[in-house]
Amino acid sequence: MNFDDFDKEMRQFEESLDQHVLPDMYLVTRLDGRAFTKLTAREQFRKPFDERFRDLMQATVEHLMKESGFRIVYGYTESDEISLLFHPEEESFGRKVRKINTTLAGEASAFFSMKLGKIAAFDCRVVPLPSLTRVEDYFAWRAEDAHRNSLNTWCYWTLRQAGITAHKASSILNGQGNAFKNELLFEHSINFNDLPSWQKRGIGIRFCVEEREGFNPITQEKVMTKRNVLKADYELPLGDAYREYIRQIITQC
């Protein structure tokens, strides 16, 4: 068999699991830190929330938005996860799922590891979404997840810090609703409503146009220049206002 035939034959196996995101689908990816429960304990990040860990996650999102080669219009991070919304016309790698997942997981893992100074890894999944409403649903869902996790983790670590064992703390919280959890925190002098929004809703990152004053050395005149800069929102809007915020990002990009 000549090489061309052999090559063609072998490529059938190599490409047998390839999938592409269909045209017209909105494309979101979610990355998640691998075994970050262990990593955050080993690195002694503060529990339940650590600003140094938050800053590492935020820097990783910003790196992906600026340097991954994909046109990403919105980044969102909560806990050890990152969601990225692609520009609707992003066509890199023919929207091949394998390329998107491996490129983003590789970039995020390398960047986070360099910043931390230790090895850390992320996985990545592609979430194709059929409509703008589903894109809004997706981000509303992750923000709701952040809120739920925040309340749980605040309760859990408050109990642990009060000397209660891991097993007992989990069983106290098991099956309990929001009212019970808010009350539990209140009894320990923590008002959940007053905690920083980034801990309860996560952080959104988007591009904004910034106008800057410059100087044209040829005409010797002041000129206004525009450039795209990343802006992090630590106080994301709630409910329908957050859906509108997402809608505006995608319709104005």
What is the footprint of ligand GTP within residues 63-122 (CB under 6 A)?
79-80
Among 20, 45, 106, 152, binds ligand GTP (CB under 6 A): 45
133: number of Cβ within 10 Å: 11
Q: Closest distance between ligand GTP and the C-beta of residue 123, in Å?
A: 7
What is the footprint of ligand GTP within residues 195-224 (CB under 6 A)?
none
CB 123 within 8 A of CB 32: yes
Instruction: Decide if residue 37 touches ligand GTP (CB under 6 A).
Output: yes
Mark the segment that binds ligand GTP (CB under 6 A) among 46-54, 174-182, 184-192, 211-219: 46-54
Instruction: Decide if residue 36 touches ligand GTP (CB under 6 A).
Output: yes
Instruction: Decide if residue 156 touches ligand GTP (CB under 6 A).
Output: no
Query: Which strand ranges, in their side-by-side order, compose the sheet holding 26-33?
Result: 122-129, 26-33, 81-86, 72-78, 203-216, 221-233
What stretches of the chain adopt beta strand conformation (E)?
26-33, 72-78, 81-86, 122-129, 203-216, 221-233
Give the angle subtended at the CA of 220 by the CAs of 217 and 221, to the nearest 5°. Answer: 115
Mark the segment that binds ligand GTP (CB under 6 A) among 31-39, 59-67, 69-77, 103-111: 31-39
Point out which residues bind ligand GTP (CB under 6 A). 32-37, 40, 45-47, 49-50, 53, 79-80, 153
